[in-house]
Amino acid sequence: MSSSDYNLYIGGKWVRSKSGKTFESFNPATEQSIGIFQEGNESDVREAIDAAEETFPKWSAMPAPKRGALLLRIAELLKANKERLSRLVTVEMGKVLKEGAGDVQEAIDVFEYMAGEGRRLFGHTTPSELHDKFAMTVKTPVGVCGLITPWNFPVAIPAWKLAPALICGNTIVIKPSSDTPLCVIELVRIMEKAGLPPGVVNVVTGPAKSVGQEIVKNKKIDALSFTGSRETGEWIMANVGIKKVGMELGGKNPIIVMDDADLALALDGVLWGAFGTTGQRCTACSRLLLHKKIKEKFMRSLIERAKKLRIGNGLDKDTDVGPLVNQTAQEKSMRYVEIGKNDGAKLCCGGNKPGNGKGFFFLPTIFNNVLNDMRIAQEEIFGPILSVIEFESFEDAIEIANNTEYGLSSSIYTNNVRNAFTAMKEIRAGITYINSPTIGAEVHLPFGGIKKTGFTREAGIEGIEEFSHTKTLYIDYSGKLQKAQIDVDQVVDDSTTSVLEMKFPVHRE
């Protein structure tokens, strides 16, 4: 893929940044330049917000089914461009090609799903406590939404935010990660080709210290949706002001393997959950909790299989594990390997980069004899590093699983139905899988966590909640002044008898 220059997208036009500065995006497998991108600044963001604000009245006034029809056209164009976009995801982010295709498929699915919401956007009707009075709720758009998206799902996560925000009638300013700006630019080009009106979606690439901070702090932004690190999330919460906020801040996700589990199935799940996407998922399994009765046997198989995983360029069909996204991520994984060893954990395999060639690769890494209070068991690493913790009983496993500041995803492998249902009830996480790894969310179900993972729910019907307000409507057609609560004793027609004083006949057989 040859290097090219790419612009900001503001008010339906591709424009240069007022900063006059640019930055490069690199292929993490080859370290070759992918393109030159605009280093946006605060002035660019304010212009994008103004464009979104100007367009909002017309876009929000469009009937929701019409907006849904546009989202469906976007989905169809994504299907037509799936192969090209899948390769772009692999080239820009590094994940293997099948996962790149899965990334794009998520975008297709969420645009299709949210297109259908254009004919729903459900409110509720409920009885009034007074005569001749109707009560209901409707969904209304929030306004101008700021979206700050990460690099690990460079098409899917922007789509998860864009599609519900659009179907609800909002206009948008989006800042993609500077590691994967081209994926969002190509997504928005497809949206433009589908007929998205100018100003509805605006893209400002550039650093967090200028673009991100302006989106967070600007008072014209009515809602903010952020996916990224906990540290950044904490800064945002301290600076965002009064606006609707959605946060997804990572996880430290456990897989529990009981002694009654299907061990072959569990082994496949652990390998996929820990090393799929090179461990660069907020739902990745980074803690493996093994029952002491099966631990030794399971560990032998796990280490043997992990050593056989093929590391390389994600475009190679034989590759199992692609590179980390950049050198900083590679160095972070190296630091945590040293932390784990210094804390007394046993390094079983991996722990380094494979050779001295190009690319930010890192070997699948497994630590044994990990205690749950060790840093490698508590802190999100976002790399292919798995900490193995032994437990003696089901109750111990649940306690260990819950003993973390995060609460995103979780999993248990067991053939005991009681253990399965108890785990679903007692594990403190937004997502729990039974006999499946911690990754694999579907777009028609809510996605999100608890505790310091955040408090948002994306996708599914609850994805609408993040980008809409609930408005309550009362219609009084009685022709007289009625007073809620105060007139509660006047509910019965043509009588001064209160509800509590009414006599009801007793039915006898």
Q: Which residues are catalytic?
A: 282
CB 3 within 8 A of CB 34: yes
Contact 318, 312 (CB under 8 A): yes
What is the amino acid identity at position 49?
I
Element (H, E) at 256: strand 253-257
Which helix H or strand E contains 417, and what residues bound it? helix 417-426
Residue 10 corresponds to which tokens in the numbers above? Answer: 């503001």
Which three-class secondary structure state does DSSP give residue 257? strand
- Degrees (nearest 5) of the Cα angle 79, 82, 84? 145
Terminal alpha carbon distance of the chain: 84
Contact 286, 252 (CB under 8 A): yes
Contacts of 9 (CB under 8 A, 6+ apart): 15, 185, 188, 192, 201, 202, 203
Contacts of 127 (CB under 8 A, 6+ apart): 135
Q: Residue 192 is encoded by which pair of tokens?
A: 């433009």
Q: What is the CA radius of gyration of the chain?
A: 26
Distance from C-alpha of 448 to C-alpha of 459, rounded to nearest angstrom: 9
| Pairing status of strand 433-434 against strand 411-413 | parallel
